[in-house]
Amino acid sequence: MMKGLYIHIPFCESICHYCDFVKRKPKDDYMIDEYLDALEKETLSYRSHFSTIDTIYIGGGTPSMLSLAQLKRLFEMLKEIKPSEYTIEVNPESYHADKGKLFKTYGINRVSLGVQTFNETLLLSLNRKHTKPQIFHAIDHLRSLGIDNISLDLIYAIPGQTLAMLEEDLNIIKSLDIPHVSCYSLILEEKTYFYHLFLKGLFKTMDEETEALMYERVMERLKSFGYEHYEISNYAKDQQYSKHNLLYWTLGEYIGIGAGAHGFIDNHRTYNHRIISTYLHTPQERIELQTRELNIQDELIFGLRKMSGVHIKELEEKYQFDLFERYPKLYEMMELGLVCEEEGQLKLTLKGIFLGNQVFSIFV
């Protein structure tokens, strides 16, 4: 069975106001080098899996903020692996030509570009440090190297954002002809600067009606541009899906390396320590057996995130149970118009996409 490999680089040059991932500003290069030492040790502990790894995803944090020497060291750790999809997350302000050439040399064939919005006023409000020209430069240069499998992250429902601003972002995406877009609403997360402001009464999230209108606009416009909406937050042209993320949504196996990383191997969930100083000495916090009940729950919750839904008969045969007998509340969800059954697939309806958590709660 093919596996994925996720590697977490927790360092950032600045901290975005909305981000709750494991991240920090490094004090100096030594801190990064020390982290890479621990990362290499953990990576080598999974060497027996290298021949079965089909996707690598280097995320963060901001992997692209590493120096050329640090990036080279990271890629050298992984050079034995020959994945079909090799992704790195890049922030436009930390990208330059020599880094792109290094990506190409080491076989990286997919870049996830952290754009969030093309509106420079909104970028400032998010504490993003790039400019619109830097986005275009990164895309143009990556394409000149032959790295044209580019995914672009977009955020909507940013306080102060109007439908016209969102429309402008979507029109730029159309003009760029990017093969993959990940589009998320801004969520107020604990332990973020925005949450700190919220507690002081200085931050207000966008109203639900406008947020829903924006999501609907995103879905409509991207579909009209030729994108397939294949997962709640993801859109692709010509079936250029994220193979790595599909592993998460189909309960495929993946290894998680780095501070705060999760893995799913041999029916066990692995959880690494989130605190970097602890991770350096003891990477793994815990490992838990995934029970049959948890597998069924995850198959349904992650499976329903895909627009294709869950194949009912396959799921019932795999786990030897009756879906509607086990979850009679599904009938209620159908009556409410949140889920439907089409050609043997259980799917979220358009209304259900907006109220997904209400559906997912019946499986927990």
Q: What is the domain-level CATH number for residue 48?
A: 3.20.20.70
pLDDT tens sequence across 231-280: 999 999 999 999 999 999 999 999 999 999 999 999 999 999 999 999 99
Report the pLDDT value the prediction gives residue 17, as an integer from 0 to 100. 78
User: Average pLDDT for residues 344-357, to the nearest whole number?
Assistant: 93
298 in a domain, yes or no?
Answer: no
Report the pLDDT value the prediction gives residue 206, as an integer from 0 to 100. 84
Report the pLDDT value the prediction gives residue 189, as an integer from 0 to 100. 81
Give the pLDDT band of residue 24 (cuts 50, 70, 90). Answer: confident
First to last CA, the chain: 28
If asked whether residues 138 and 68 sit together in one domain, one would say yes
Report the pLDDT value the prediction gives residue 193, as an integer from 0 to 100. 76
With 90 as the cut, is the pLDDT of residue 197 above it? no
Predicted model pTM: 0.95
Decide which of 221, 248, 275 is a domain's last residue: 248
301 in a domain, yes or no?
Answer: no
Structure tokens of 220? 């409509």
11 in a domain, yes or no?
Answer: yes
Report the pLDDT value the prediction gives residue 167, as an integer from 0 to 100. 97
User: Average pLDDT for residues 192-200, to the nearest whole number?
Assistant: 80
- The per-residue DSSP string of 101-169 comes to HHHHHTT--EEEEEEE-S-HHHHHHHT----HHHHHHHHHHHHHTT---EEEEEEE--TT--HHHHHHH
Of 21, 2, 23, the C-alpha closest to 13 is 23
Using CA atoms, how far residue 67 sits from 74, 102, 240, 241, 249, in Å, is: 11, 11, 30, 29, 33
Decide which of 201, 223, 248 is a domain's last residue: 248
If asked whether residues 79 and 212 sit together in one domain, one would say yes
162 in a domain, yes or no?
Answer: yes
265 in a domain, yes or no?
Answer: no
Q: Cα(232)–Cα(342) distance, rounded to whole angstroms? A: 18
Q: Cα(253)–Cα(158) distance, rounded to whole angstroms? A: 34
User: Average pLDDT for residues 197-212, to the nearest whole number?
Assistant: 85
Decide which of 196, 227, 248 is a domain's last residue: 248
User: Average pLDDT for residues 77-87, to the nearest whole number?
Assistant: 97
How many structural domains are present in the chain?
Answer: 2
Average pLDDT, rounded, for the chain: 94
Q: Cα(181)–Cα(112) distance, rounded to whole angstroms? A: 9
If asked whether residues 166 and 33 sit together in one domain, one would say yes
Q: Cα(242)–Cα(149) distance, rounded to whole angstroms? A: 10
If asked whether residues 215 and 315 sit together in one domain, one would say no
100 in a domain, yes or no?
Answer: yes
Angle between helix axes 163-176 and 208-224 (nearest 10 degrees) is: 20
Of 35, 29, 26, 25, the C-alpha closest to 258 is 35
8 in a domain, yes or no?
Answer: yes
Instruction: Give the least confident one: 56-65, 121-130, 135-144, 187-196.
Output: 187-196
Domain that holds residue 190: 3-248
If asked whether residues 49 and 131 sit together in one domain, one would say yes
If asked whether residues 111 and 11 sit together in one domain, one would say yes
Give the pLDDT band of residue 34 (cuts 50, 70, 90). Answer: very high
With 90 as the cut, is the pLDDT of residue 199 above it? no
